[in-house]
Amino acid sequence: QVQLQESGPGLVKPSETLSLTCTVSGDSISGYYWSWIRQPPGKGLEWIGYIYYGGSTNYNPSLKSRVTMSVDTSKDQFSLRLSSVTGADTAVYYCARESSSQFDYWGQGTLVTVSS
């Protein structure tokens, strides 16, 4: 059974950089696209972007200038960095596996609050 687990600080100060890591277990990270998706409290879902295990990326244009994703296949991990955060970036951040154009496995989500 594939499992994903997000990790990282739950509190980030405005203007700083949010950093999260997703650890994949139960299967190799190879061969798939891996996405980050976020959900502000009480609101809907927003796709942030994906990274392929080989390292290619595709980011949501709405966030592209602030997003960097990376992958470490030796650790079966991939990461998200979102710079210059504001209160609008407060959300539950999910990592998810994309398989044949659908998100079939998700992490449990981690709440990141942007506040001084």
Partner 1 sequence: DIQMTQSPSSLSASVGDSVTLTCRASQGISIYLNWYQQKPAKAPKLLIYAASTLQSGVPSRFSGSGSGTYFTLTISSLQPEDFATYYCQQSYNPPFTFGPGTKVDIK
Binding site for partner 1 (CB under 8 A): 35, 44-47, 49-50, 58, 60-62, 94, 98, 100-104, 106-109
Cβ at position 80, least distance to partner 1 in Å: 15
Q: Which is nearer to partner 1, 86 or 100 (CB)?
A: 100
Q: Which is nearer to partner 1, 57 or 83 (CB)?
A: 57
Cβ 82 to partner 1, closest distance in Å? 15
Using DSSP bridges, classify how beta strands 77-82 and 57-59 pair: parallel, antiparallel or unpaired. Answer: unpaired
Bridge partners (DSSP) of residue 39 are 92
The distance of closest approach from Cβ of residue 14 to partner 1 in the complex, given in angstroms and rounded to an integer, is 25
Residue 43 carries which DSSP code? S
Q: Dihedrals φ, ψ of 84, to 5°?
A: 50, 50
